[in-house]
Amino acid sequence: MDNNQSNPKNTKARAVSGLLWRFMERFGAQGVTFIVSVVLARLLDPSVYGTIAIVTVFTTILNVFVDSGLGNALIQKKDADDLDFSTVFYFNICMCLVLYVLLFLVAPGIAAFYKMPELTPVLRVMSLTVIVSGVKNVQQAYVSRNLLFKRFFYATLGGTLGAAVLGIWMAYRGYGVWALVMQSLFNTTVDTIILWITVKWRPKRMFSIKRFRGLFSFGWKLLVSSLIDTFYNNLRQLIIGKLYSADSLAYYNRGYMIPNVFVGNVNTAIDSVLFPVLSGEQSDRGVVRNMTRRSIQISSFVMWPIMLGIGACSRQIVLLLLTEKWLPAVPYVMIFCFSYALLPIQTANLNAIKALGYSSVYLKLEICRKMVGITVLLLTMWRGPLIMAASNVLISLLNQAINSWPNRKLLGYSYKDQLLDIMPSVIISVIMFLIVWSLQRIIINPLLLIVLQIPVGIGVYIMGSILIHNESFFYICNTLQEIAAVRELKKHQ
């Protein structure tokens, strides 16, 4: 099996190239998805989104069995071959069929628990995405392992565009929640088909119990970690759906989704590229440390101004895109913006731990974080959805410290050092937030206001980076110049 990861000529060039393609794929797809979600939010009632949010929780949890564990084990294993990939492929297919049958059978019970009989058929149809994802998972691992992220770009964009047309048409025709269900199923199916067409790898007629055990010994800890994390992250939505109204869940979900369009793409792109690159350099901890540090600096430089900028413009964004009926989602948007700004340190630290092969440490960290998080959740769940959302900021701060703790010894890179590395970007972002936020005291018209806020925010952030000589800003500028120079050189060869 072709393995582009061995003996890389230029790790930095391959990582940057992979990251650019991953950014293009995520932002291209999510840009289309965001536009479609705006159209659908205008056509559909908030209660419809409350229903689909509950269904999505269950399908997301089941997809963890497909997307985590063994897929990461294939990426981390240095000498993974066709036997490893084929073994995981056949196991995934069997696992997904079992999971689908299980959810099909328990769907009526879930509907009865939430006193929403319409959940039964919706759950049974939407959970078909689990089977489709099982077919695609090993192809995704192959692409990530070999940094072939251009394949993701074509597959994801193709599925997203087709699903956009279908979803809007069904919503316009009055299909309600089924517009969202079929949009999701169509997207996953077309994504899988395109990926299979563009990626050369195919499963062979081979299976090894021995290889499976070896991969599982590494992957099961990551699988359990992801299950805990996914269940925990969606637990608030399950509780809000049970204790409060479908509308409350819809506002919470929409407040979560708006910043997630940006942060989810940045974080996913960095996560999917950083892990295989670090895995390829796992024998040299000095290189891993430097790459982890650079990842924290760059991702924080990008994430903080985006999140605080969205927070400052949140009311105008909701008014212009979703109309006044979604205004109760504004405080949720602001809360999640501050919470998500803290993600880069968590992502980089966890990728370093995974790449070095310490999946047991990864699992222990997951358990520790969730014990803290559940304690906070139990203290806030009876105080309303807004307080439950606000507790995420405190939890994110605690998670930063917890995730960074092992790398103090593993890499000689302490939490204090990490905070010092991101502090320039944080300070400039806070100043930018205050300036952009204050503009709403001068201008009332939401369209005119946001048209002014965006360039002012960008200008303040760039000027601030230059004035304090932010290392990340100049690193990005130099890297872009290097890429442009290489492309220019290739044109003349």
Q: How far apart are CA 338 and CA 341, in angstroms?
A: 5
| Confidence at residue 74, expressed as pLDDT on a 0 to 100 scale | 78
Token readout for 133 is 């994802």
What residue has token string 């130099």? 478
Measured CA to CA, the distance from residue 468 to residue 2 in angstroms comes to: 46
What's the CA gap between 65 and 67, in Å, rounded? 6
Q: Which of 122, 101, 69, 98 is nearest to 228 (CA)?
A: 69
Cα–Cα distance between 12 and 219 in angstroms, integer?
27
What secondary structure does DSSP assign to 15-57, as a single string?
HHHHHHHHHHHHHHHHHHHHHHHHHHHHHS-HHHHHHHHHHHH
Closest CA to 427 of 469, 385, 396, 389: 469
Predicted pLDDT of residue 14: 56
Measured CA to CA, the distance from residue 426 to residue 327 in angstroms comes to 28
pLDDT in tens, the chain (493 residues): 544 444 444 555 555 555 555 555 555 556 666 676 677 767 767 777 777 778 878 887 877 777 656 777 777 777 778 888 888 889 888 888 988 999 899 999 988 888 888 889 988 998 898 888 888 878 877 777 776 666 666 667 777 788 888 888 888 888 888 888 888 888 888 888 888 888 888 888 888 888 888 888 777 777 777 777 778 877 888 888 888 877 888 888 888 888 877 776 666 666 555 555 555 656 677 777 888 888 888 888 888 999 999 999 999 988 888 888 889 999 999 999 988 888 878 878 887 887 777 777 877 888 888 889 889 988 999 988 999 999 989 998 898 888 888 888 888 888 889 899 899 999 999 999 999 999 988 888 888 999 999 999 999 999 999 999 888 888 878 777 776 776 677 666 6
pLDDT at 4: 45
The reported pTM is: 0.66
Domain ranges of the chain: 260-493
